[in-house]
Amino acid sequence: MNCAMLKEEEIPQFIQNGFILEDPKSNQVVVAVCNEGDPHQHKGFLLNFYGEIKSLTFQSISFMPREEFKSFIQRICPHKAELSFIRDGDDDYKNDVKTTLSWLQEKKLQKIVPTSFAHYNIKEGHPLGFLPKLMDLNGYVFGYWDQEEGMMGVTPEVLLYQENNLFETMALAGTFDTNQKNFASLLEKSNKNQSEQDFVCMDIEHKLKDHCTQFHKHEKEVFNFGPLAHLHTKITFESKENFLSLCQRLSPTAALGGFPTTTALKLLKDLNYFSLEKQSRTFGGAIGIELQDKAFSLVAIRSIEWKKNNLYIHSGTGVISASDIGQEWAEIKNKRKAIVEKLQV
């Protein structure tokens, strides 16, 4: 990937209108200034949770090794934004879990992912200053912002990766606190977490079966995100369908929406959380780029989002019929804590 480094005079524009995306294979970070550019060279996109696409073009684009990029952000934005807590959606979340459990008992679906949030006021500073600490997490960097709003984070989940006609995706579900002794063994032996993972694999296979060849599900593994661990299954396949269409087909997987997807997406609109962003929800959507020799997209989780002076941390949990409200609540707290600790608020 041969591109010129970001020029010093472009840094103010990058801080105002930026795009970052880590290549999961090379750990090079795409660093771009969003503006009018040549869409035939590099095509970026945002895919929100409900499938709405926003196409992005770039005024300039460069690539940096992960650690070099981290140092770059520390240099250009050395101070973290100051935040003050406003509220959370936790009471609504607990009620939403009760609602979803009733749906599962009625066999309306097999899995669904209710979500909660924490809401903060940005007193001063740019959220970009939080990124170096977020990068201490084991995942892939992503972000997009303009002068009004943005999002950034470090996700454990790759939606899709393409080189030539070979594609790779993953099922990532099931969560365990890595502070627990023998967490990997406990996660692998957990029937509830195994069931969650199986539903995600079934969902991906169902969505791709008529649009690919050489579909192969690899061995299940444990992915250590840092404070949390997840079950991970690599899935490879070949397809002649274009990259963006496959991203739309896959997103959101059952890891973020539910199973079956159509039913889950319809029912999620009946939960309290839906009123926060409605159809414009970006949490759990995807961010991606198509380069000349490859394309990749990441799932927008483990992140912060902001609109003007309002900053949000969203977290979701997979609920199945065997779920316990107390355990789901503990998982929400642990997922949020993983981000809040890096913000030091």
Q: Supply the CATH number for residue 76's domain.
A: 3.60.120.10
Q: Could you tell me the residue range of the domain that residue 160 belongs to? A: 8-343
pLDDT of residue 35: 84
> Is 225 part of any domain?
yes
Contact assessment for residue 131 and residue 22, using Cβ atoms and an 8 Å cutoff: no
pLDDT per residue as tens digits for the range 276-326? 999 999 999 999 999 989 999 999 999 999 999 999 999 999 999 999 999
pLDDT of 52: 96
In this prediction, residue 38 carries a pLDDT of 61
Distance CA 259, CA 110 (A): 6
* pLDDT at 6 (0 to 100): 84
Instruction: Read off the pLDDT band of 202 (50, 70, 90).
Output: very high
Write out pLDDT tens, residues 219-261. 999 999 889 999 999 999 999 999 999 999 999 999 999 999 9
CA 34 from chain center: how many Å? Answer: 20
Q: Compute the C-alpha angle 210/47/304, nearest 5°.
A: 135
pLDDT score of 40: 56
Sheet with 18-22: list strands edge to edge: 58-65, 28-34, 18-22, 140-145, 149-155, 303-307, 310-316, 115-124, 82-88
Mean pLDDT of 50-73: 95
Query: Is it the case that residue 39 has pLDDT exceeding 80?
Result: no
Q: Which amino acid is at 31?
A: V
pLDDT value of position 193: 92
DSSP state of 4: P
Give Cα 306 to chain centroid, integer Å. Answer: 15
Q: 2 falls in which pLDDT band (50, 70, 90)?
A: very low
Non-local (6+) Cβ contacts of 91 within 8 A are none
103-107, long-range: CB < 8 A, 24+ apart: 103/267, 104/319, 104/320, 104/321, 104/323, 105/321
User: Which pLDDT does position 42 carry in this prediction?
Assistant: 72
Across 124-149, average pLDDT: 96
Cα separation of 128 and 91, whole Å? 30
Q: Is residue 296 situated within a structural domain?
A: yes
Q: Is 40 exposed, middle or buried (0-12, 13-18, 19+ CB in 10 A)?
A: exposed
pLDDT at 344: 81
Residue 325 resides in a domain: yes
pLDDT value of residue 268? 98
Dist. CA 275–CA 32, nearest whole Å? 33
Q: Please state, in angstroms and rounded to a whole number, the distance separating the CA atoms of residues 31 and 38.
A: 16
pLDDT in the model for residue 1: 42
Look up residue 334 and give its two tokens.
């642990």
The DSSP output letter for 148 is: S
76-130 residue pLDDT tens: 999 889 999 999 999 999 999 999 999 999 999 999 999 999 999 999 999 999 9
* In a domain? residue 50: yes
Question: Does 1 map to a domain?
Answer: no
Given this model, what pLDDT does residue 5 score? 73
- Strand ranges (DSSP E) for the chain? 18-22, 28-34, 43-47, 53-56, 58-65, 82-88, 111-112, 115-124, 140-145, 149-155, 158-163, 166-177, 213-224, 228-238, 258-259, 286-290, 295-299, 303-307, 310-316
Q: CA-to-CA distance for 120 and 80, rounded, in angstroms? A: 14
Q: What percent of the chain has pLDDT over 90?
A: 90
Quick check: is 267 in a domain? Answer: yes
**Under 8 Å between Cβ of 319 and 173:** no
Domain count, the chain: 1
The three-state secondary structure class of 276 is helix
Percent of the chain topping pLDDT 70: 97
- Looking from the CA of 13 toward its CB, the CA atoms found within 13 Å total 15
Residue 2 lies in a domain: no
Residue 3: inside a domain, yes or no?
no
